[in-house]
Homo-oligomer: A and B are copies of this chain.
């Protein structure tokens, strides 16, 4: 029996190695277009930036090492140009050969990944993209003498590239067509990321289109020109389903290869995994594209099991992701508020600003956390985090809680490892559970930063319960200052009618709201306090 695998990196090579472990006698051929297999895609930007100085560190395996250890027949510079499912053949172009050759298969795995989106901009051909080792070499060469760069696209890879080009000493502009970078985050969460980019010298252009690229720079939609010795296109990726589509395999609306939960395409002998395929969303089972390495590797391993005769179903995806931005950790899992709102799905949002570890232990920093909850059943719908430490941990804990079907209020009960250098006795994740539980039980009610104007227009009065010093340093227009410690004695100073209270992050506001409710007042706490409001309004 012969299995052919197209694409020799995350999904493809994971399939190949697992398949070998399961079946010593199978012939396994891996066909890879580029000159490298098993390379660290996710490390490529950091090699361009010099953070990973050794190019060799990116190459986890070679065709030779894979032959020795796994008995794999790995052929680089072998691009597959066609499939024929009826004859079970692939047509491949070996290097230097005049003619393409055909190979037959018993099972075929498509793991061709995704291709960078190339927008229809005049001159875009000059822009470099980053997907493989050759691209990396080209970028290293192009940036060696360069002084200026324009990165088009503020997604994960665009932001990583901007940072890494700054590390290399270039003047970098980052041009993003929408109002924000890093689409998985909601706007109030991404504000500190924007601020960090600007602080670190990136010329950040949001809401800005690129009209044209030419030999010395980029012309923006607003007519401005940015000089650029190097232009990088990082507008996003689309599934590389060209071979599949040409062979008549079913391809989804958004270009992904359609597979069932066993990674089977519409042809019984052909499987597909990784960035190239359509996935099922964990929340609603809808079709989604989630081009991430964890899922690609897992699917690669699982498809080997299926081919070897005993595969488990591949799980639906939450889309858990993280990116580093000049030392900021930016993570998310599940759905964001934008998506919930767009889909008309009801939700509650909770914003907190805890310390990554106990405030009394040196080095504590603040994390901005956001939890999205289904008001009907308290299911966790998603989470986001931004901070300089401990974000990865909290996102992973919440993603695990989601996988385990924990309700949001059950986060209160998680027994997490605590010593002062690692967390808090009430960990930030526990605290999200406390806040949620109060809402579930009807003990507290909140206003979101983007709902505040409407609440005030509807006649609510805004009470700032922080200190005079905090108030003086920046306050919300229209707020009346009554510090929480004076509130009990100054009930009489409060305006009549509904109230919105707020503090810096929500904790004192919570106390104030609990107190005022017991005075019979209709009161809501501004969720996330001044910080979330200010970030949202930034």
Which residues of chain B have C-beta atoms less than 8 A from A415's C-beta?
A: 294-295, 315, 317-320, 333, 399, 403
Which residues of chain B have C-beta atoms less than 8 A from A358's C-beta?
A: 40, 42-43
Q: Which listed residue, B324, B333, B399, B511, touches A21 by the CB 8 Å rule?
A: B511
How many copies make up the complex? 2
Tell me the complex Cα distance, A348–B444, Å.
46
Tell me the complex Cα distance, A410–B315, Å.
10
Tell me the complex Cα distance, A23–B301, Å.
55
Q: Quote the shortest CB–CB distance from A185 to chain B (angstroms).
A: 13
Interface status of A406 (Cβ within 8 A of chain B):
yes
Q: Quote the shortest CB–CB distance from A498 to chain B (angstroms).
A: 19
- In the complex, the answer to whether B420 meets A294 with C-beta atoms within 8 Å is no
Q: Quote the shortest CB–CB distance from A180 to chain B (angstroms).
A: 19
One of A91-99, A240-248, A336-344, A426-434 at the interface = A426-434
Q: CB-CB contacts of A361-393 with B at 8 A, as 1s and 0s?
A: 110000000000000000000000000000011
- In the complex, the answer to whether B52 meets A426 with C-beta atoms within 8 Å is no
Q: Quote the shortest CB–CB distance from A414 to chain B (angstroms).
A: 6
Q: Quote the shortest CB–CB distance from A522 to chain B (angstroms).
A: 16
Given A57-B360, A397-B396, the answer on whether A410 and B419 have CB atoms closer than 8 Å is no
Q: Which listed residue, B57, B403, B421, B426, touches A413 by the CB 8 Å rule?
A: B403
Which residues of chain B have C-beta atoms less than 8 A from A416's C-beta?
A: 294, 320, 396, 399-400
Chain B CB within 10 Å, residue with most, of A331, A417, A518, A519:
A417
Which residues of chain B have C-beta atoms less than 8 A from A291's C-beta?
A: none
Q: CB-CB contacts of A50-65 with B at 8 A, as 1s and 0s?
A: 0110000110100000
Tell me the complex Cα distance, A392–B466, Å.
34
Which residues of chain B have C-beta atoms less than 8 A from A395's C-beta?
A: 417
Which residues of chain B have C-beta atoms less than 8 A from A430's C-beta?
A: 294, 298
Interface status of A488 (Cβ within 8 A of chain B):
yes
Tell me the complex Cα distance, A403–B409, Å.
13
Which residues of chain B have C-beta atoms less than 8 A from A331's C-beta?
A: 417
- In the complex, the answer to whether A69 meets B518 with C-beta atoms within 8 Å is no
Tell me the complex Cα distance, A310–B440, Å.
13
Residues of A within 8 A of B (CB): 10, 21-25, 40, 42-43, 46, 51-52, 57-58, 60, 68-71, 292-298, 301, 310, 315, 317-324, 329, 331, 333, 358, 360-362, 392-393, 395-397, 399-401, 403-406, 410, 412-423, 425-427, 430, 434, 441, 443, 484-485, 488, 510-511, 514-515, 518-519
Knowing that A69-B511, A405-B405 touch, tell me 14 more A-B residue pairs with CB under 8 angstroms.
A23-B518, A25-B518, A43-B360, A46-B361, A294-B415, A294-B430, A298-B412, A298-B426, A318-B415, A321-B417, A393-B393, A397-B397, A399-B415, A400-B414
Task: Jot down 29 A-B pairs with beta carbons below 8 A, ordered by A.
Answer: A22-B514, A23-B518, A25-B518, A40-B360, A40-B420, A42-B418, A51-B362, A52-B361, A58-B360, A69-B485, A294-B416, A294-B426, A296-B425, A297-B425, A298-B430, A301-B434, A310-B441, A318-B415, A319-B415, A321-B419, A322-B418, A324-B419, A333-B417, A400-B414, A403-B404, A403-B410, A403-B415, A404-B406, A405-B405
